[in-house]
Structure 1
Amino acid sequence: MGSPQGAEDRDRIQSIERGFAVLRVFDADRPRPTSTDVAEATGLSRPAVRRILLTLQHLGYVRPVGNRWRLTPRVLSLAQHYTATNSVADIAQPHLTALAERTGESVSLAVLDGGDAVWVARVPVRRLLSIDISPGSRVPAPATSAGRVLLAWNDEPVIASVLAAELPAYTDRTVTDPRRLRAELREVRARGWAVVAGELDLDLLSLSVPVRDHTGEVVAALAASTSAARFTADELTAKVLDPMLATASRLSTELGQPRGADARERREGFF
């Protein structure tokens, strides 16, 4: 009898997997890769990469520039389809705008995808951060306040998988010990919010709170981010925590959570 994994493998379409692997090569470090760059990054043969790139060109997602390739604006439609069909991102935008106006800080909404926190909505203020935080951007969940919120209320298999993977040190402050990180997640869950300073980037300070759906499940993290040169962690917490908890509560209510539910509510889980 075949294994469930084997059945799952048979149901996957390899050409689609390869197409997305090629698209993921395009990033800030490789905005205009050559076909050789793509082949090296994906492990695919150059003939296979050429066919995939030509197919993506036919569909309008990439175009050649000399011997290099670049994405076209059509790829943004993929993100638009997500926000158009995802109630969290759609409902959150006016709440984020109001919170940014009230606090004067950049605010964002993130969801968990594997070991990454992915930003799905964002309202920036006119202060430059050293890392890109825009819709569609991905950051490692263990090193960010949003990611720790999303992990702290998640299922044990998800947490165990993230902690079992490599935990790179992005700065000298990054927590890379799985046991210490698990303790950090316990603390986040106990107090109801997370603050992280200088672990992904020495200049980045962020605070995040959970957003729940109608079942009480944490489905997103609401985050405020700023430069570490402007505030200490305690100062940022004193400034934005209460407005953020209030915003998360209103957003959770719109997502169907019963009115009066506490944004700090704790649920049974892996702890």
Structure 2
Amino acid sequence: MTKALAVLEIVANAPRGLQLSEVSAELGFDRSTTYRLLNTLIAAGYIVRDGSKRYNLSYRLVTLSRHLLADNERSRASREIMEWIAHETGETIHLSALDGMEEVLIQRVKGTQFLIVDFQIGERFSLHCTSVGKVLLAYQDERLIEQVIAAGLPQMASNTITDPDHLRQELRHIRSTGYAIDDHELADHMRCISVPVFEADGRVMVGLSISGPDTRLSLEKLEEYKVPLSEGARELSERLGGAPNSTATSFMNLDRNGHS
């Protein structure tokens, strides 16, 4: 089963498809084992083979994930709030979810800025090196934090946190301030800011973030964006039944100029 899933992931990450030899070489499996696994996945409907003998994902995976992609009340609420934040800042807004020991981008609303960091829906990242990853990790129990640390903290950019004690300290700081910044931690050309969204039971499973090139997003600009980003996160948390803040002015009561 594990080998079949490895094959599925390799094919999923190849938009133009892969031939048998490429899948075999990528995973280090012999050709006969790889061929058998691919045929099993074809029979199950998860992979198709085209006329040039290249293997690609089928649309069955879309069917399986339809509840995650559905236009339901939750997704409509998050999109409405993200559109408001994008209008206020001009920046592209991302909603990412905790998935195991990674974050996955699940929703995106584009802003008006021409130069953006073009993350795609479904992209996954390690938790220790992005603002939203750190926000998601900061609100988990100690077991998951230690699992992430034990799995390794690879250097992704010049300021990536790779020291376990430094990461623990950073997570405590995030919990006390309610937001996280990525200052050249995922990539040396990029900065990001993220805030948590609270579920009805108090858990944090998703976070909102703004990412962009460092030529536009100074640390001072991120601090400025923290205001609408935090307000949007509070509104979304309240709609989900979590962490209401009665002192916060709902953005739904503000006009586009920020006046009540």
- Shorter-chain TM-score: which interval? 0.7 to 0.9
Mapping 1:53-68, distance limit 5 Å: 53-58=38-43, 59=45, 61-64=47-50, 66-68=52-54
- SS at structure 1 position matched to 2:128: helix
Mapping 1:206-221, distance limit 5 Å: 206-221=192-207
Q: Distance in 1 between matches of 2:59 and 2:116?
A: 24
Measured at CA, do residues 136 and 241 of structure 1 come closer, stay the same or move farther in structure 2, by a change above 3 Å?
same
Q: 1:123 aligns with which of 109, 118, 125?
A: 109
Give the Å deviation of 1:170. Answer: 1.2
Q: 1:81 aligns with which of 50, 67, 71?
A: 67
Q: 2:129 aligns with which of 143, 149, 166?
A: 143
The number of residues matched between the two structures is 246
Amino acid at match of 1:114: G
Identity across the alignment (%)? 33
Q: Distance in 2 between matches of 1:261 and 1:159?
A: 31
Residues 181 and 193 of structure 2 are in contact (CA less than 8 Å); yes or no, is this contact kept in structure 1?
A: yes
Q: Distance in 2 between matches of 1:140 and 1:87?
A: 29
Measured at CA, do residues 88 and 163 of structure 1 come closer, stay the same or move farther in structure 2, by a change above 3 Å?
farther
Where structure 1 has 5 or more consecutive residues not aligned to the other structure, the ranges are: 1-13, 264-271
TM-score, with normalisation over the residues of structure 1? 0.80
Q: 1:101 aligns with which of 87, 90, 112?
A: 87
Measured at CA, do residues 32 and 243 of structure 1 come closer, stay the same or move farther in structure 2, by a change above 3 Å?
same
Per the alignment, residue 181 of structure 2 pairs with: 195
Where structure 2 has 5 or more consecutive residues not aligned to the other structure, the ranges are: 249-260
Q: 1:158 aligns with which of 136, 144, 147?
A: 144
Give the Å deviation of 1:248. Answer: 0.7
Per the alignment, residue 257 of structure 2 pairs with: none
Query: Is 1:223 the equivalent of 2:212?
Result: no
Residues 89 and 120 of structure 1 are in contact (CA less than 8 Å); yes or no, is this contact kept in structure 2?
A: no
Give the Å deviation of 1:72. Answer: 4.1
Mapping 1:39-54, distance limit 5 Å: 39-54=24-39
Residues 194 and 207 of structure 1 are in contact (CA less than 8 Å); yes or no, is this contact kept in structure 2?
A: yes
Mapping 1:19-58, distance limit 5 Å: 19-26=4-11, 31-58=16-43
Q: 1:260 aligns with which of 245, 252, 255?
A: 245
TM-score, with normalisation over the residues of structure 2? 0.83
Residues 61 and 75 of structure 1 are in contact (CA less than 8 Å); yes or no, is this contact kept in structure 2?
A: no
Give the Å deviation of 1:229. Answer: 1.2
Q: Distance in 2 between matches of 1:29 and 1:213?
A: 35
Residues 131 and 180 of structure 2 are in contact (CA less than 8 Å); yes or no, is this contact kept in structure 1?
A: yes
Q: 2:227 aligns with which of 226, 229, 242?
A: 242
Aligned-residue Cα RMSD (Å) equals 2.6
- SS at structure 2 position matched to 1:142: coil
- SS at structure 1 position matched to 2:108: strand
Q: Distance in 2 between matches of 1:230 and 1:221?
A: 22
